[in-house]
Structure 1
Amino acid sequence: MHEMSLLADLFRKIEAIAMSEEARRITKVKLKLGALAHISADHLREHFEEAAKGTAAEGCQLEIETNADTGDPNAQDILLESVEVET
Structure 2
Amino acid sequence: MHESGLITALLRQVEAQARAASASRVVGIELWVGALCGFSEAHLREHFAHEAQGSLAENAMLSVACSEDITHPDAAHLMLRSIEIR
Question: Do Structure 1 and Structure 2 share a fold, with TM-score over 0.5?
Answer: yes
Q: Which runs of 5+ in 1 are unaligned?
A: none
Q: Distance between the aligned counterparts of 2:14 and 2:82, measured in 1?
A: 9
Q: Distance between the aligned counterparts of 1:67 and 1:18, measured in 2?
A: 26
Q: Which runs of 5+ in 2 are unaligned?
A: none
Q: Distance between the aligned counterparts of 2:22 and 2:77, measured in 1?
A: 28
The aligned counterpart of 2:45 is 45
Q: Distance between the aligned counterparts of 2:69 and 2:49, measured in 1?
A: 26
TM-score, normalized by length of structure 2? Answer: 0.97
Matching of residues 5-84 of structure 1 within 5 Å: 5-84=5-84
- Say what the alpha-carbon RMSD is for the aligned residues: 0.6
Q: How many residues align?
A: 86
TM-score, normalized by length of structure 1? Answer: 0.96
CA-to-partner distance for each residue in 1:1-59, whole Å, 9 max, x for gaps?
00011111111100100110000100100100000001111101000011111111111
Runs of 4+ deviating beyond 4 Å = none
The aligned counterpart of 1:3 is 3
